[in-house]
Amino acid sequence: MRLAGKRALLIGAATGIGRACVEDFARNGAAVVVADINEPAAVEAAALARAHGATAHSVTCDVRDEDSVRNAVDYAERELGGLDTLVFLAGLMRTGAIESVEAATWDAIFNVNARGTFLAAKHAAPAMKRAGGGSFITTSSLAGLRGAPGMTAYAAAKGAVIAFTTALAQELAPANIRVNSVLPGWIDTPFNTPAIDYMGGVESHGEVVRRIVPLGRQGTPAEVSPIYVFLASEEARYITAKSMMVDGGMAH
Ligand SMILES: NC(=O)c1ccc[n+]([C@@H]2O[C@H](COP(=O)([O-])OP(=O)(O)OC[C@H]3O[C@@H](n4cnc5c(N)ncnc54)[C@H](O)[C@@H]3O)[C@@H](O)[C@H]2O)c1
């Protein structure tokens, strides 16, 4: 019960890594609100959290829309009686050779990954200050540090998330709010389908993973969620402005 008493809003957490976080937060005693554009999956994730004995709610939220983000934050603060933990996981990936990347695709990727992170922080910070402080965990990617062919827009947006995280951590430290980013490597979710297609399909992707990941395989969502639990917990109270890689050793 490392998160007993924590009140957490997890945005973009209906499926994949986020869903694993919801379950792990619930198992560790947090009360949670799952916010996602995928309403049925968010409802399902909240039900899973309740099955672990947690207080859990869901709210529909499109992180591209400022009013929708503000509404999710207000809902979480109201339903949970305060907000001290914010986890942002919403993501969008598209791949393609640079000459084929539409400006609209670039904007769409930035809107969800980078601008969405900003809107969540902007509207949650006042609530977290009212709670006396807390932990904000953003989600970048190893691609945000190292890039990858065909992923220019996604890598740039995730790089922006890292820079945003370090700037915000310095700004919010006096308010006792820690801000850190998780950088997953290859995690086995359908999110990576555009990357796998760009790499020539499942076979060639698997070959690359075996070659560049020292542990020789993709991770699972449940192998990433524990770092979110740790960063949200009091055990991490002296950790802020950090990028935490969970990548099977890919970056070394
Ligand atoms: N899977 C990986 O290998 C990997 C690697 C590095 C980083 N990441 C990052 O981890 C995060 C979670 O990815 P995942 O693999 O669990 O994929 P996922 O598709 O299961 O999760 C993404 C979530 O974001 C939600 N979402 C998308 N657009 C949204 C919007 N406009 N408003 C609100 N919610 C929205 C989706 O509904 C979904 O629940 C993403 O930010 C992704 O960039 C994933």
Structure confidence by residue, pLDDT tens digits, 57-88: 999 999 999 999 999 999 999 999 999 999 99
- How many Å apart are CA 154 and CA 205, to the nearest integer? 18
Count Cβ atoms within 10 A of the Cβ of residue 108 and give its class: 0-12 exposed, 13-18 middle, 19 or more buried.
middle
Q: How far apart are CA 22 and CA 24, in angstroms?
A: 6
52 domain-assigned: yes
Ligand 1: lining residues by beta carbon, under 6 Å: 12, 14-18, 36-38, 61-64, 89-92, 112, 139, 141, 184, 186-187, 189, 191-192
Average pLDDT of every residue of the chain: 98
Question: Which atom of ligand 1 sits closest to the CA of residue 182?
Answer: 7
Q: What is the b/e burial string over 182-213, where b = at least 16 CB atoms within 10 angstroms of the residue's CB?
A: bbbbbbebeebebbbebbeeeeebeebbeeeb
CATH of the domain at 169: 3.40.50.720
What percentage of the chain exceeds 70 in pLDDT? 100
The reported pLDDT for the residue numbered 148 is 95
Cα separations in angstroms, 20 against 13, 14, 15, 17, 92: 8, 9, 8, 5, 18
Amino acid at 6: K
pLDDT at residue 54 in the model: 98
Mean pLDDT of 41-56: 98
Q: Does residue 13 fall inside a structural domain? A: yes
Q: pLDDT (tens digit, 9 = 90+) per residue, 155-202?
A: 999 999 999 999 999 999 999 999 999 999 999 999 999 999 999 999
Does the reported pTM lie above 0.75? yes
Whether 69 maps to a domain, the answer reads: yes
Atom number in ligand 1 closest to CA 42:
39
Using the mean position of ligand 1's atoms as its centre, give its distance from the Cα of residue 18 in Å: 7
Catalytic residue from among 75, 154, 198, 228: 154
Ligand 1 center to residue 174 CA distance, Å?
30
Between CA 55 and CA 17 the distance in angstroms is 20
Atom of ligand 1 nearest to the CA of 140: 7
Ligand 1, atom nearest to 218 Cα: 3
Domain with 189, as residue range(s), is 7-246
Please provide the DSSP assignment of 185-240 as one string: -SB-SGGGHHHHHHTTSHHHHHHHHHHH-TT-S-B-GGGTHHHHHHHHSGGGTT--
Residue identifier of the C-alpha nearest atom 20 of ligand 1:
16
In a domain, 205, yes or no: yes
What single DSSP character describes residue 115?
A: I
Q: How many Å lie between the centroid of ligand 1 and the Cα of residue 20?
A: 12
How many domains is the chain partitioned into structurally? 1
Ligand 1 centroid, distance to 201 Cα (angstroms): 20
Give me the pLDDT at residue 202, please.
98
In the chain, % of residues over pLDDT 90? 100
What is the model's pLDDT at position 124? 99
| Gap from CA of 31 to ligand 1 centroid (Å) | 21
Point out the ligand 1 atom lying closest to the alpha carbon of residue 186. Answer: 3
Provide the residue type at 245 as one letter: M
Q: What pLDDT was estimated at residue 251?
A: 96
**Of the candidates 123, 101, 99, the residue with the CA atom closest to the CA atom of residue 110:** 101
237 CA distance to ligand 1 middle (Å) = 26
Residue nearest to atom 37 of ligand 1 (CA): 38
Q: What is the pLDDT of residue 24?
A: 98
What is the mean predicted confidence (pLDDT) over 128-135? Answer: 98
Asked whether residue 2 is assigned to any structural domain, the reply reads: no
- Confidence band, pLDDT 50/70/90 cuts, at residue 34: very high
Q: What is the mean pLDDT of residues 6-28?
A: 99
238 is catalytic: no
Nearest to 221 by CA among 195, 184, 173: 184
Q: Which two tokens stand for residue 126?
A: 């006042």
